[in-house]
């Protein structure tokens, strides 16, 4: 395999054996970016001089006998993370010149582990799209088909990995922002359990980098192999030293099983609120068949699964109440008027999103209490199953669509149009209750586009879906270069 597409694990082994230097790996990565990224536009902020200096330090450290988990490995970082001296814009033109004074905590952990940062990757405006496009840096194209999106909001990171621009990337996820780009670009990503990896410094400008505990949103690893996800998650996980880290450390339990045949898996490929496209359904079935062939217990129905319609509604309420918190007062009042005019029996996701944008604190507490009932339901389900396999979105990557407002767009599912944001219900299955979910590639659609699924696991048992991802990679194959 060409070295630019090798895993971080493989590159670390080569570095330890003296078969290659970090400087060589870094120059190869820089040359590939300079050659190929004009067509893809994944790396929006290049840090090549810094990377060369970091690579020299890594080689010097190794020559002294030192070693670290990611020593000398070229990586990228999502634009939304603060890196001292570099712009953090979240795609907002009014903050194009914002430059933070200190690194995000996860960037500090990445560099402490010895990684070499090649640059920052592109994002959508305010991270609020399933595509990666903004007025400052333009559009990121899918390496498999430049006319299609690479996903969002970690679309630049996913495209970079698929194109061979570094071995790992830092992403984030609120509405599938790790998992959807992985699915669209044919790579791996892991949405950690809520709160497992601290988010300090992954903040919209010009807000200060405070150690806040976000609702729903997480930061997480992206890679070209399942084992590399665990490698990077182990660097990222653990409490913020400014808050919980004062009092405790982390000790994740091991994976529940080490063999495919021992896993108990629930397959869910239908949602009551949106259909599953044929290409994605085929991807789910490929995983189900591989599991059954290996002797795993595979089931498709259980009364233990929490109500998917209520879960999707809660997800929209909680997500939009957060997203709309900073709206100007006049806009908020207009939304309140619109929400008040909704019929009481309007149970559509559009209605849930509108109600969420004007949710009162009393309403949020009620929704949060309902969320706790769902979490309890998931605990009961995971007493009988180890992992749930389901779609990430209903379709493979779709053509670029930057027209109109987000609320006016649609997604084409096998020839029928549905509201653009309704496709987020699959991402919300894991996000609303805060569960870990690993995105894995499962092959390609009839058009040759990557198709992925997510493996949802029990809270704080991240190693269970990650281990299943490793075993499935061996069984059905993994990343393929475009």
* DSSP letter string, 39-108: HH--EEEE-HHHHHHHHHHHHHHHHTT---TTTT-EEEEETTS--TTS---TT-GGGTT---SS--HHHH
Do 118 and 40 lie in one domain? The reply is yes
User: In angstroms, rounded to a whole number, what is the distance separating the alpha carbons of residues 347 and 333?
Assistant: 22
User: In angstroms, rounded to a whole number, what is the distance separating the alpha carbons of residues 140 and 144?
Assistant: 12
Domain that holds residue 362: 308-368
Residue ending a domain, among 319, 351, 368, is 368
Residues forming beta bridges with residue 441, ordered by sequence position? 452
* 438, 188 Cβ separation under 8 angstroms: yes
434: Cβ contacts below 8 Å, ≥ 6 apart: 193, 194, 195, 216, 375, 459
Do 246 and 314 lie in one domain? The reply is no
379 assigned to some structural domain = no
377 assigned to some structural domain = no
481 assigned to some structural domain = no
Give pLDDT, residue 464.
Answer: 99
Give pLDDT, residue 188.
Answer: 99
Residue with the two structure tokens 């795993």: 296
Residue ending a domain, among 368, 392, 414, is 368
pLDDT averaged per 10 residues in sequence order, the chain, 482 residues:
94 98 98 98 98 98 98 98 98 98 98 98 97 98 98 98 98 98 99 98 97 96 98 98 97 98 98 98 98 98 98 97 90 94 94 96 97 98 99 98 89 97 98 99 98 98 99 98 97
365: Cβ contacts below 8 Å, ≥ 6 apart: none
413 assigned to some structural domain = no
For helices 22-40 and 8-17, give the axis angle rounded to 10 degrees.
150
Do 152 and 236 lie in one domain? The reply is yes
334 assigned to some structural domain = yes
Do 248 and 103 lie in one domain? The reply is yes
Do 72 and 152 lie in one domain? The reply is yes
**Number of domains, the chain:** 2
Looking up residue 40, the CATH number of its domain turns out to be 3.90.1300.10
239 by DSSP, 3-state: which? coil
CA angle centred on 460, ends 458 and 465, rounded to 5° = 55
265 assigned to some structural domain = no
Do 330 and 191 lie in one domain? The reply is no
Instruction: Give the β-pairing of 116-121 and 43-46.
Output: antiparallel
Do 207 and 354 lie in one domain? The reply is no
462: Cβ contacts below 8 Å, ≥ 6 apart: 190, 192, 193, 196, 233, 237, 252, 436
Residue 468 has phi, psi (to 5 degrees) of -60, -40
Give pLDDT, residue 403.
Answer: 86
Do 134 and 199 lie in one domain? The reply is yes
3-state DSSP: the chain helix, strand, coil percent, rounded to 5? 40, 15, 45
* 392 DSSP assignment: S
376 assigned to some structural domain = no
Give the predicted TM-score (pTM) of the model.
Answer: 0.98
| Residue 372, CA distances (Å) to 353, 365, 368, 375, 377 in order | 20, 11, 6, 5, 9
Do 143 and 29 lie in one domain? The reply is yes
Q: What's the full length of the chain, in residues? A: 482
From 19, 6, 81, 93, select the one nearest 45 (Cα to Cα): 81
Residue ending a domain, among 368, 397, 412, is 368
Do 149 and 233 lie in one domain? The reply is yes
84 assigned to some structural domain = yes
Do 123 and 53 lie in one domain? The reply is yes
User: In angstroms, rounded to a whole number, what is the distance separating the alpha carbons of residues 178 and 221?
Assistant: 8
176 by DSSP, 3-state: which? coil
Do 72 and 139 lie in one domain? The reply is yes
């Amino acid at each position: 395999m060409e070295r630019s597409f090798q895993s971080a694990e493989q590159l670390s082994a080569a570095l330890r054996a003296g078969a290659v230097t970090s400087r060589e790996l870094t120059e190869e990565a820089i040359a590939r970016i300079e050659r190929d990224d004009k067509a893809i536009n994944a790396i929006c902020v290049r840090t090549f001089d810094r990377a060369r200096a970091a690579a020299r330090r890594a080689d010097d450290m190794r020559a002294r006998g030192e070693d670290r988990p990611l020593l000398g490995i070229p990586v990228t970082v999502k634009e939304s993370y603060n890196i001292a001296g570099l712009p953090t814009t979240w795609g907002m033109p009014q903050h194009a010149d914002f430059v933070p004074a200190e690194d995000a905590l996860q960037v500090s952990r990445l560099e402490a582990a010895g990684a070499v940062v090649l640059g920052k990757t592109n994002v959508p405006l305010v991270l609020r799209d399933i595509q990666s496009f903004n007025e400052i840096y333009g559009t990121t194209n899918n390496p498999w088909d430049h006319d299609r999106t690479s996903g969002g909001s970690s679309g630049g990171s996913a495209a970079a990995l698929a194109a061979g621009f570094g071995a790992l990337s830092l992403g984030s996820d609120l509405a599938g922002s790790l998992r959807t780009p992985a699915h669209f670009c044919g790579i791996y990503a892991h949405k950690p359990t809520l709160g497992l990896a601290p988010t300090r410094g992954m903040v919209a400008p010009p807000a200060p980098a405070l150690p806040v505990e976000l609702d729903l949103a997480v930061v997480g690893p992206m890679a070209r192999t399942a084992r590399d996800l665990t490698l990077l998650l182990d660097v990222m996980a653990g409490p913020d030293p400014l808050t919980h880290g004062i009092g405790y450390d982390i000790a994740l339990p091991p994976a529940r099983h080490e063999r495919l045949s021992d896993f108990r898996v629930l397959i869910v490929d239908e949602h009551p609120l949106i259909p599953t496209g044929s290409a994605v359904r085929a991807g789910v079935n490929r995983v189900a068949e591989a599991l059954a062939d290996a002797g795993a217990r595979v089931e498709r129905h259980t009364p233990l699964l929490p109500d998917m319609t209520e879960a999707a509604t809660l997800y929209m309420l909680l997500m939009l109440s957060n997203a709309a918190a900073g709206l100007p007062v006049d806009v908020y009042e207009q939304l309140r008027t619109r929400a008040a005019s909704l019929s009481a029996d309007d149970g559509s996701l559009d209605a849930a999103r509108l109600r969420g944008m004007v949710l009162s604190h009393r309403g949020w507490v009620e929704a949060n209490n309902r969320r706790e009932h769902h979490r309890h339901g998931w605990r009961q389900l995971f007493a009988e199953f180890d992992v749930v396999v389901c779609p990430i979105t209903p379709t493979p990557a779709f053509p670029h669509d930057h027209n109109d407002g987000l609320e006016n767009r649609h997604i084409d599912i096998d020839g029928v149009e549905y509201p653009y944001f309704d496709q987020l219900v699959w991402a919300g299955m894991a996000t609303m209750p805060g569960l870990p979910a690993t995105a894995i590639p499962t092959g390609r659609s009839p058009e040759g586009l990557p198709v992925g699924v997510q493996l949802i696991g029990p809270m704080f048992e991240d190693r269970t879906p990650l281990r299943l991802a490793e075993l499935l990679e061996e069984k059905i194959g993994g990343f393929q270069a475009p």
